Amino acid sequence: MGRTTGHWAGRRQCTAALAALPLLGLGGAARALVESDAAAGVRALLERAGDAAVALLGRTDGFNANPRVRIGLPPSLDAAAKLMRATGQGRAVDDLLLAINRAAERAVAQARDVLVQAVREMSVEDAVQIVRGGDTAVTEFFARKTRAPLTERFRPIVAEATRRQALAEKYNAVAGRAAGVGLLRPADADLDGYVTGKALDGLYLTIGEEEKRIRRDPVGTGSALLRRVFGG
């Protein structure tokens, strides 16, 4: 049997075992073994995906040098940015964009403990949903469980990072005027809120990419547990 066939066969076996738990009438020890093995495998996947994303993004140029997640100005400010560049103010635009991405990097670096807490609180029902789910089930779990607490955690870090460079006021002055004439969503007129949201989008996107990589090749992780639960 090829590895691809083995992967799906193993995943089907794990999914079937989990789904059948309420119906099998398993003895306490056997039932606990199936539950704990599957839940441990899901926790390992969660931890690896979360750790990899934080390590990749929460460092210098984690956002700024990564075109997949680099944060730009809201599209409605593009015209203003082009005008500034055309009138010799391009350095100011570049400084603002760098500061925005540096703020996101500083914020994401603080995300690990919130992600770890979500893993610790994962229920057996969460584990079943993740095993049954598609290639982004882990990402959806993290987004559902951590977006609110991470928003609360990120916002003051972003605010401090932008405040130290005295750029928040400049952004808000431009974006606030655009919002006033209907060119920008009011939510994007607030730099701290805008960067916080984009930092979280980048974090979950990167978690999703790592999740897909692990699901495609659980054997390659070197983890016997991940291979058993997701690889067959």
Number of domains in the chain: 1
The region of weakest confidence among 70-74, 82-86, 125-129, 186-190 is 186-190
56, 62 contact by CB (below 8 A): yes
CA distances from 41 to 10, 15, 71, 88 (A): 13, 12, 33, 55
Q: How confident is the model at residue 106 (pLDDT cuts 50, 70, 90)?
A: very high
Phi and psi (nearest 5°) for 203?
-65, -50
In the chain, DSSP finds a helix count (H) and a strand count (E) of 11, 0
Please give the pLDDT value at position 150.
Answer: 95
| Per-residue pLDDT, 73 | 85
Mean pLDDT for 12-21 is 43
Query: Residue 89: left (phi > 0), alpha (psi -120 to 50), or beta?
Result: alpha
pLDDT band at 23 (very low <50, low <70, confident <90, very high): very low
Check: CB of residue 167 under 8 Å from CB of residue 95.
yes
Q: Tens digit of pLDDT for each residue in 173-215?
A: 555 555 555 555 655 557 788 889 999 999 999 999 998 888 8
pTM of the model: 0.77
pLDDT at 153: 92
Average pLDDT over residues 38-57: 89
- Pick from 147, 152, 137: nearest CA to 208: 137
Span 92-115, average pLDDT: 89
CA distance 142 to 145: 5
Higher pLDDT, 111 or 220: 111
pLDDT of amino acid 85: 80
Angle at 119 between CA 53 and CA 67, to 5 degrees: 15
Greater confidence, 161 or 71?
A: 71
Give pLDDT tens digits for 124-181: 888 878 877 788 888 999 999 999 999 999 999 888 877 776 656 666 655 555 555 5
Q: What is the CA radius of gyration of the chain?
A: 22
Q: Annotate 116-153 with DSSP letters as a single string.
A: HHHHHT--HHHHHHHHHS-TTHHHHHHHHHHHHHHHHH
Domain that holds residue 199: 3-231
